[in-house]
């Protein structure tokens, strides 16, 4: 995701400095003449705006506060804006935002006396990151959001301001919760239909012209052979990994507990996708739940 987002920024004329724990990823950029650094702190030391895209809350915490992290050399910072596009715990987003707001700037910027942070997770996946058609869900200071909007629109097609710090992260886990439950519902209905003698392609046409229509049926169908260009058409390779869906459902479940809610669909979805990972399918796209949770139903 991050490399493709970076490519779109480069194509729009932005000067980038790049760091990744994967040296092969950095080599691809350095061979194109893009400056690379050996640590997050070195990137921050030479940047006005810093964007992170990482797999989990622990990775984000390490990059920001770990050894040679973005905030590891005192509370006077070079970048005036930090944008985190990772999908993480909203409370962690809020804590990091508060920590950054307590810092000062090496170089003052008009309208900003202290550095700002935006939590800006995305929807659309790897293909949208490559095509520059991501949707950004953004939380943080509205003034920072307005200033950063050109950056978002270099990487995506739309950007939605969600309110204060952490609200972008909250919106993303709610989106992925709905996406997971929707995929399970579509998979279960298609599996049942096939067992009752209705081809998945026929049932999909019915869904897509009636009240069952949704993204999981008309854009990301989970049944092999029904739709071209989706993970189901290539053995569930690529796309959004089941292990990331399990992680996001865990974030949703924990967030529900924090606010005193019981969500049975969230809990069940988390169990199903966690089991997929335990069964060795964590790197497959999450739509593989159709094949591995409802076996014997592939379209012929």
With a CB cutoff of 8 Å and minimum separation 6, the contacts of 63 are: 40, 52, 54, 69, 70
CA distance 203 to 124: 25
The catalytic residue among 108, 149, 157, 172 is 172
For this structure, is 172 an active site residue? yes
CB 40 within 8 A of CB 63: yes
CB 139 within 8 A of CB 86: no
Beta bridge partners of 117: 82
Instruction: Measure the N-to-C terminal CA separation of the chain; round to a whole number of Å.
Output: 33
Give the tokens for residue 213.
């229509």
With a CB cutoff of 8 Å and minimum separation 6, the contacts of 205 are: none
Active site residues: 172
């Amino acid at each position: 995701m991050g490399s493709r987002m970076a490519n779109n920024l480069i194509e729009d004329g932005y000067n980038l400095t790049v760091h990744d724990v994967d040296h092969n990823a950095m080599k691809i950029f350095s061979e194109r003449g893009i400056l690379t650094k050996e640590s997050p702190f070195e990137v921050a030391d030479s940047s006005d705006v810093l964007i992170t895209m990482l797999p989990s809350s622990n990775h984000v915490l390490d990059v920001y506060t770990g050894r040679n992290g973005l905030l590891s050399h005192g509370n006077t910072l070079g970048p005036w804006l930090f944008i985190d596009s990772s999908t993480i715990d909203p409370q962690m987003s809020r804590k990091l935002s508060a920590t950054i707001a307590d810092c000062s700037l090496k170089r003052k910027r008009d309208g900003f006396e202290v550095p700002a942070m935006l939590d800006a997770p995305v929807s659309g996946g790897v293909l949208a990151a490559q095509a520059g058609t991501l949707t950004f869900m953004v939380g943080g200071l509205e003034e920072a959001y307005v200033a950063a909007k050109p950056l978002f629109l270099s990487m995506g097609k739309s950007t939605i301001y969600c309110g204060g710090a952490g609200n972008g992260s909250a919106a993303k886990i709610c989106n992925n919760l709905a996406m997971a439950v929707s995929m399970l519902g579509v998979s279960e209905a298609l599996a049942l239909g096939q067992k009752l003698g209705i081809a998945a392609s026929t049932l999909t046409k019915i869904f897509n012209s009636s009240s069952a229509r949704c993204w999981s049926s008309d854009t990301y169908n989970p049944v092999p052979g029904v739709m071209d260009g989706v993970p189901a058409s290539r053995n569930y390779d690529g796309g959004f990994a089941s292990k990331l869906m399990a992680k996001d459902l865990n974030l949703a479940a924990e967030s529900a507990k924090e606010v005193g809610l019981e969500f049975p669909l969230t809990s069940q979805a988390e169990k199903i996708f966690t089991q997929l990972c335990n069964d060795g399918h964590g790197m497959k796209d999450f739509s593989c739940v159709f094949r591995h949770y409802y076996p014997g139903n592939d379209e012929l």
